[in-house]
Amino acid sequence: MKKVLVAEDEESIREFIVINLTRSGYTVEQAENGAVALEKFAKDESGFDVAILDIMMPEVDGLAVCKQLRAKSSDLGIIMLSAKTQEMDKITGLMFGADDYVTKPFSPSELRARVDAVYRRVEMTRGFRKNDTTGDTVVLDEFELNLRNRTLSKNGSNIELTQVEFQIIEYFFKNPNAALTRTDILKTVWGNNYFGDDKIVDVNIRRLRMKVEDDPSNPVYLTTIWGLGYKWVTKNN
């Protein structure tokens, strides 16, 4: 069952989302504010595949809900809904662990495409973790990437990653010491039909640096190639 939690305080928008996702084969639970969304997730914590959260909601806003849901689950797909004027809020949502954002107003086709893409990543991640956990690994210096159970460790200590972060790291580990453009990363992780802009790449790189670097403000592994993109640098390159 493909199950989605929709938290949106504007009834007309919430109904629009529910109708279109239901037509696309999703089972949808709806919440009129963040507090209700958290209650419904707590009652059915293992059941949801994707959560769609409006940023501006009464009682508990979408950013706070995003942060709490991500702390509970690294597998859950999270999409933020935002207005064009909420640029900083979109970045904050991504930093809190959202996988994507959709800017209002949006079309049914855009909504379905974004939800489908996030759902596919969730299913892929869960599928790998259900299988044998002793499969292929990629080792770069003190890092070990397990491609079977979708985990990353540094000096033997596990680093918790979202499915988007894992896909980005996997791309870098398969191309060490190679300069990868933002467009390369965007197409590999989000697909050729992604509707958003490449800022989502930069925000996820910032999140990854906070997890893998000893000093995120002075990265030695995940480095910036100015005017182009990013590179994963090994010690013996």
pLDDT, tens digit, for every residue of 61-94? 999 999 999 988 888 999 999 886 677 887 888 8
Position with higher pLDDT, 50 vs 45: 50
Confidence band, pLDDT 50/70/90 cuts, at residue 198: confident
The mean-pLDDT minimum among 13-22, 29-38, 98-107, 214-223 falls in: 98-107
| Same domain, residue pair 155 and 73 | no
- Spatial CA neighbour of 28 closest among 6, 55, 52, 12: 6
In a domain, residue 237? The reply is no
Q: Point out the domain boundary residue: 128, 161, 195.
A: 128
pLDDT, tens digit, for every residue of 124-173? 766 655 554 445 889 999 999 988 878 899 999 999 888 889 999 999 99
| Same domain, residue pair 119 and 177 | no
Contacts 24+ apart (CB under 8 A), 200-208: 200/94, 200/100, 200/101, 201/168, 201/229, 203/91, 203/94, 203/95, 204/94, 204/164, 204/165, 204/168, 205/168, 205/230, 206/95, 207/94, 207/95, 207/97, 207/165, 208/165, 208/168, 208/169
| Same domain, residue pair 61 and 135 | no
pLDDT above 80 for 195: no
The structural domain count of the chain equals 2
In a domain, residue 156? The reply is yes
Number of Cβ within 10 Å of residue 93's Cβ equals 27
| Same domain, residue pair 50 and 153 | no
Alpha-carbon distance of 110 to 115, in angstroms, equals 9
| Same domain, residue pair 71 and 59 | yes
| Same domain, residue pair 103 and 32 | yes
Q: Give me the pLDDT at residue 92, please.
A: 87
Q: Which residue range is the domain that position 223 belongs to? A: 131-232
Q: Point out the domain boundary residue: 88, 112, 128.
A: 128
The chain-wide mean pLDDT, for the chain, equals: 89
